[in-house]
Every structure is written in structure tokens, then in C-alpha cells.
Amino acid sequence: MILETEGITTDIFKKCHDFDLADKYREMGIYPYFHALESKQDIEVIMEGKRKIMLGSNNYLGLTTRPEIIEAGVEAFKKYGSGCSGSRFLNGTLTMHLELEKELSQFVGKESAVTFSTGFQSNLGIISAIVGRGDYVICDRENHASIYDGCKLSYGKMLRYKHNDMQELENMLKKVPENAGTLIVTDGVFSMGGDIANLPEIVRLAKKYGARVMVDDAHGLGVIGEGGRGTASHFGLTDEVDIIMGTFSKSLASLGGYMAASEEVCDYVRHNSRPFIFSASIPPSACMTARASLKYLKEHPELPVHLRELASYAREGLKAKGLRIRESDTPIVPIYTYTPENTLRKAKELYDAGVYVNCVLPPATAPNECLLRTSYMASLTKELIDEAVDIIAEVLLKDND
């Protein structure tokens, strides 16, 4: 369709026509996205017809293939149908939604919980409801994109501090007017670097300046803390963190998200969060899958410990090969590849050699600190890790010979 109008000098689609970065990487043969899976999300997958060792999944506890968890989703699908066809606010609340919220709040140590249809939507819904006109929201610069979009959706003012820089956080807090409400939002486990927020110092500063604290525990639930209860539990600060957010798409092997907080705060969000009010609720099968995964985690508190042991094994193996990694104590182990083009080339070579990893490129990193993000599952074996580490070392170090 060609627009023939007067007074309009630029077609809004011009940006689409001018966008050529993806085509450039496709032509170079190093485009890293949209590889199609032909099997379950597991430690080994079939991707575009070939076996790959999966080191790029957030399926931290390996629960996506557990027979009892799959069966729970199937039974819910049979009993309740394929969807709710409405928002939680209206006709879309099932008894199982309420049961999942109760189980989540009890597990993470909060009074109440609210579930959202996706993790991304959870941050949109929580932050936009809590942070109002005249309020301030203060963010770590390496927070997830959904946090930033939640801030944009709110009517408050956003301030950012350098990653895990507590002095700059205090400087930001000093800028907030005395009559303004303040919410500090941080990832618990940072999704790209795998490092853990300095929550004790964040809590101390929040108390000093009268701010509230929200932790995005998408990559913390099932990974750290007592029995996998997350970052606040890891530091013994559950009662000091005001809002805990998390997702079902990682450790809980499903789709959706949640916030856990006081009943007063949760009830306010239920009645004021536009993403919550105007979105269809979590489908029955996804809801029941999350419940079954949470039940399995509660019954197997050794799983997060085993997961971290396997990640440590992989980390030490990579370092023994002479690879430079970004240090962490979580299942996220990033390997430095420095420039964007080198990162894409190495990811493609690894993919062709049978190991799937994810690229971390600007703006998620500085231009010359790009990474290959490897992530590990509790269901991995040391034999598979050894195989993957050997391939990674061969691919990444071959230019140094």
C-alpha cells in the first residue's frame, strides 16, 4: 500500500525499511536468533534437525520434562479446557489461581500473592500500579527490560544507578524530595551476568531514606536461598523486602509470573494494575504446571544445591581451559567474547559444533565486553558438561593457537 497524502514528509514505516542489521548478520551467516526446537526443552535437544547440548535455557531445575509435572498440565487441560477467556478481575479466576497464590506466598514467606499472565507483564503491572505521579523509582542499570518498561508505564520519575554501586544508589536516594514516595527495584540474580544484588546494603539504604524495596527474583527462585526461596531468603532478609516478583517460565517450568507482598499491597495492585485487570488469566494447564513444579521443589530442597554444584563444576572446567568468565555463584556462567561480531561468530561455531548458548550484546553489555551466556540445569550430567566445556574451549581458543 502506497500512501498518497499532503503535508506528511516521512512514512512511519521508513524505520522498518532502513533496518538492515539483521539482514547484515544473516548474510554473514552469524544471525543467532529464532533457531527452531524440534524436541522438548531438555539438557539435549534436537534443533533444526541436529543434536545440541542445551546451555542456553532458563529451565534451571530441569522440570519441563518431569512426567508428573507434564501429567498435571494435561489433567488441568482436560478438566478446565484450554483457557479462561477473561481477566482475573472478571470471569477468569479459577480456584487453582487462588491456590497457587497461597502456595507461592507461603513458600517465599509473604502474606499474599498476585499472579500475572507472564513474567514481563508482572513487572509492568506491579511497578505501574505502585509508582504514581510524584513518586520515584530507582533502578540498577542492569535490571531486566521489563522493569524499565514498567517504569515507563508508571507516572513516576525513574533514576538509575551503576550496577551494584551502592554509593551511587545513595546519591540517587539523596535526590528524592522528602515528600515523594520511593521504590528501589533490583534484579535478585542478574539475568545476563549471573551475579547477585547487594541486597543487605540496598535494604540498609532503603531504611535510612524511607524507601521501599522490590526484588525481581525471576532468576533467583529455585536457584538460591533456603530450598530455592530466592534472593531475600539467601540473605535472610525476607521480612525486609517489601515486594518479591518472580516468574514461572524458568525454575517452575511453565508460563506466568507473580508478586508476593503484604495483603494490603497485593489488594491495591489487584484493583489498580492495568496489565492485571485487562489481560486474560493464566491458562489452566500453565497454572497447574506451575503448582506441580512448586510442589516438586518443596519436596526436593536438595535440587537448588545440586544445581549450584553442577554450575560450579562447569565454571571450574571453563577456567581450567583458560577461558575468561564473568564470576558468579549462580547457574548463569557468562564467557567473555568482547566484540559483537566475535560473539556472534563464536556462537554460530558453537551451534554448528553441537552446543547452544546465548549471545549477550550491547545494550545489555558495554560494546567491548560482550558475552556468551551459558546457563545450567539440575538435570545435566557431568559427562555432558565435560563434553560441552571441551567444545567451548576448542571453539573459543582456536584463534589463539
User: Which of 341, 315, 303 lies closest to 194, judged by CA?
Assistant: 315
Q: pLDDT confidence of 377, banded at 50, 70, 90?
A: very high
Q: pLDDT confidence of 8, banded at 50, 70, 90?
A: low
Q: Give start-end residues of each CATH 3.40.640.10 domain in the chain.
A: 66-299
**How many Cβ atoms sit within 10 Å of the Cβ of residue 278?**
11
Per the CB < 8 A criterion, the answer to whether 138 and 185 are in contact is yes
pLDDT digits (tens, 9 = 90+) for 90-125: 999 999 999 999 999 999 999 999 999 999 999 999
Grid coordinates representing 5 are: 497524502
Give mean pLDDT, residues 11-22: 94
Task: Indicate which residues carry an active-site annotation.
Answer: 191, 219, 250
Q: pLDDT confidence of 129, banded at 50, 70, 90?
A: very high
Rounded Cα gap, residues 355 and 38, in angstroms: 15
Residue type, 234: H
User: Which of 213, 329, 205, 207 lies closest to 265, judged by CA?
Assistant: 213
Per the CB < 8 A criterion, the answer to whether 326 and 362 are in contact is no
3-state secondary structure 238-291: CCCCCEEEEECCCCCCCCCEEEEECHHHHHHHHHHCHHHHCCECCCHHHHHHHH
Grid coordinates representing 121 are: 507483564
**How many Cβ atoms sit within 10 Å of the Cβ of residue 264?**
9
Rounded Cα gap, residues 25 and 249, in angstroms: 29
Give mean pLDDT, residues 39-54: 96
Helix runs in 44-180, H state only = 67-80, 95-108, 119-130, 145-153, 166-175
pLDDT at res. 4: 56
pLDDT digits (tens, 9 = 90+) for 327-363: 889 999 999 999 999 999 999 999 999 999 999 998 8
pLDDT digits (tens, 9 = 90+) for 161-209: 999 999 999 999 999 999 999 999 999 999 999 999 999 999 999 999 9
pLDDT digits (tens, 9 = 90+) for 198-220: 999 999 999 999 999 999 999 99
User: 66-299: what fold?
Assistant: Aspartate Aminotransferase; domain 2 (3.40.640)
Per the CB < 8 A criterion, the answer to whether 251 and 63 are in contact is yes
pLDDT at res. 6: 63
Right CATH for 27-56+301-400 from 3.90.1150.10, 3.40.50.970, 3.50.50.60, 3.40.1390.10 = 3.90.1150.10
Q: What is the pTM of this model?
A: 0.94
Query: Could you give the angle at which helices 145-153 and 119-130 cross, rounded to 10 degrees?
Result: 40
Rg (CA), the chain: 22
Per the CB < 8 A criterion, the answer to whether 371 and 32 are in contact is no
Q: Give start-end residues of each CATH 3.90.1150.10 domain in the chain.
A: 27-56+301-400
pLDDT of 156 over the 60 cut:
yes
pLDDT of 278 over the 80 cut:
yes
DSSP state of 37: B
Cα–Cα distances (Å) from 37 to 48, 52, 118, 298, in that order, read 6, 10, 21, 30
Give mean pLDDT, residues 33-47: 96
pLDDT at res. 367: 85
